[in-house]
């Protein structure tokens, strides 16, 4: 059975545009659903992720059918990838299985295997069970359990987790306080284990495959996820891993690392992760690495002038740097913070730094008088 036929059978709604989504949402007979959904989407836009959101989106089969493709916009591309993979022998475990769509797809594709889904929320587990019933699957079971400290006393040929890590980790992800994602990688790769990586290591058969699709928004957070796995002896195989690129109706273009990992001694190092990340997807101009690969290229960029600004605001202490850079006839004004922002603000391909000098000084002036800036000093190197 093809993927679109499977999604049709599950009755997952498909929206061509955000306008169509909002219109159909407000046309639903239950007005509370629209009100709650709108509040949650606003929350998410401001970066707040809450495990209880899943309780609402997946609390019934109807909600799942309506929201799944919107809240899990990677769904179709993920199923396409899974469809082309040859999974190793043995049963399948999905951690944080939500409404069970991915698990049900695999149960249908591999009738000879048992698929087990585990999720924290009882209401979500019930929805997944109803979905399995709707599809007439008998080789699948869903259990309510907390993944931290889970001991199933069994190992699996294949383990999956999709968009789970962000909900489980309470710690900081991403920047370690460097001004450069490239400089940050070696430290990020030494991350310590997490309850999720420990659970994977414990339940993955000796020759098993762990497939993760986790929201890691920058190369440093991919590195810390890889570090968490490697610290428990599970190592991603970059040759078979890929950056999944997709577009959400509400969220627009996005990409997430689809990492295929095994129990292996081999470790991913900073250089190979960087190469993989730079080659693995079509970068857009705003991408941190598209910016950095230019600034840190083999070409001799000269720092014409650079300032560092100490910042104190409601998020705590931080620093920002503004560089005026030159290489032959090219000029750049490059802005970076140790909270992860990296941006080429102005650029020119003729006349070098001179052309951008006024804009650079203007930017320095604005920053100097910004109320959260507490300290300004000149720096000389990248």
Which residues lie near ligand SAM (CB under 6 A)? 51, 54, 72, 96-98, 119-121, 124, 146-148, 162-164, 167-168
Residue 126 CB contacts under 8 Å (≥ 6 apart), including other chains: none
CB of 225 to ligand SAM, least distance (A): 15
In a 13 Å sphere around the CA of 206, the CA atoms on its Cβ side amount to 0
The residue among 131 and 364 lying less far from ligand SAM, judged by its C-beta, is 131
Structure-block tokens of residue 284: 């857009």
CB of 164 to ligand SAM, least distance (A): 5
Cβ atoms within 10 A of the Cβ of 203, count? 22
User: Nearest approach, Cβ of 22 to ligand SAM (angstroms)?
Assistant: 21
φ, ψ for residue 115, nearest 5 deg? -110, 130
CB of 242 to ligand SAM, least distance (A): 17
Nearer to ligand SAM, 164 or 220 (CB): 164
Cβ-based nearer residue to ligand SAM, 1 or 148: 148
Q: Which residue is nearest to ligand SAM (CB)?
A: 98
Q: Which of 182/196 has CB closer to ligand SAM?
A: 196
**Beta carbon of residue 124, minimum distance to ligand SAM (angstroms, whole number):** 5
Strand partners, 48: none
CB of 109 to ligand SAM, least distance (A): 17
- Calpha distance 298→207 (Å, rounded): 41
Q: How many CA atoms lie within 13 A of 127 on its CB side?
A: 25
Distance CA 221, CA 175 (A): 7
CB of 309 to ligand SAM, least distance (A): 37
DSSP H helices in 46-151: 51-57, 61-71, 75-84, 101-109, 122-134
Q: For residues 103 and 182, which CB has a smaller minimum distance to ligand SAM in the complex?
A: 103
Report d(CA 375, CA 139) in Å as an integer: 63
Is the CB of 58 or the CB of 323 nearer to ligand SAM?
58
Q: Pick from 234, 228, 171: which is nearest to 202 by CA?
A: 234
Distance in angstroms (rounded) separating the CA atoms of residues 13 and 211: 26
The tokens for 285 are: 């101009």
Residue 63 or 97: the one with the smaller Cβ distance to ligand SAM is: 97
Contact 66, 28 (CB under 8 A): yes
């Amino acid at each position: 059975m093809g993927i679109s036929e499977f999604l049709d059978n599950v009755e997952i709604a498909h929206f061509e545009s955000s306008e169509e989504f909002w219109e159909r949402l407000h046309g639903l007979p239950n007005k509370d659903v629209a009100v709650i959904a709108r509040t949650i989407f606003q929350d998410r836009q401001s970066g707040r992720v809450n495990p209880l959101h899943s309780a609402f989106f997946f609390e019934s089969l109807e909600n799942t059918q309506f929201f799944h493709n919107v809240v899990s916009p990677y769904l179709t591309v993920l199923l396409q990838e899974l469809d082309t993979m040859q999974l190793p022998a043995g049963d399948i475990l999905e951690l944080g299985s939500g409404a069970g769509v991915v698990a049900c797809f695999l149960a249908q594709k591999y009738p000879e295997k048992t698929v087990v889904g585990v999720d924290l929320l009882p209401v979500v587990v019930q929805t997944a069970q109803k979905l399995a019933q709707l599809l007439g699957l008998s080789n699948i079971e869903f259990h309510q359990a907390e993944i931290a400290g889970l001991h199933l006393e069994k190992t699996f040929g294949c383990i999956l987790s999709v968009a789970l890590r962000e909900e489980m980790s309470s710690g900081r992800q991403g920047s370690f306080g460097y001004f450069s994602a490239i400089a940050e990688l070696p430290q990020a790769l030494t991350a310590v284990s997490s309850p999720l990586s420990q659970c994977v290591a414990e339940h993955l058969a000796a020759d098993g495959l762990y497939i993760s699709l986790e929201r890691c928004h920058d190369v440093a957070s991919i590195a810390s996820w890889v570090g968490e796995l490697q610290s428990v002896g599970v190592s991603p195989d970059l040759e078979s891993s890929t950056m999944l690129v997709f577009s959400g109706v509400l969220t627009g273009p996005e990409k997430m690392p689809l990492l295929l990992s095994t129990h292996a001694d081999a470790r991913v190092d900073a250089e190979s992760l960087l190469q993989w990340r730079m080659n693995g997807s079509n970068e857009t101009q705003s991408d941190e690495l598209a910016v950095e690969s230019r600034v840190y290229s083999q070409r001799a960029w000269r720092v014409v002038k650079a300032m560092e600004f100490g910042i104190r605001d409601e998020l705590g202490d931080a620093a920002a740097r503004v560089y005026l850079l030159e290489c032959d006839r090219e000029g750049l004004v490059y802005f970076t913070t140790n909270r992860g922002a990296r941006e080429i603000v102005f650029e020119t391909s003729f006349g070098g730094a001179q052309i951008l000098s006024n804009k650079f000084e203007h930017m320095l002036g604005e920053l100097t008088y910004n109320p959260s800036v507490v300290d300004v000093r000149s720096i000389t190197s990248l």
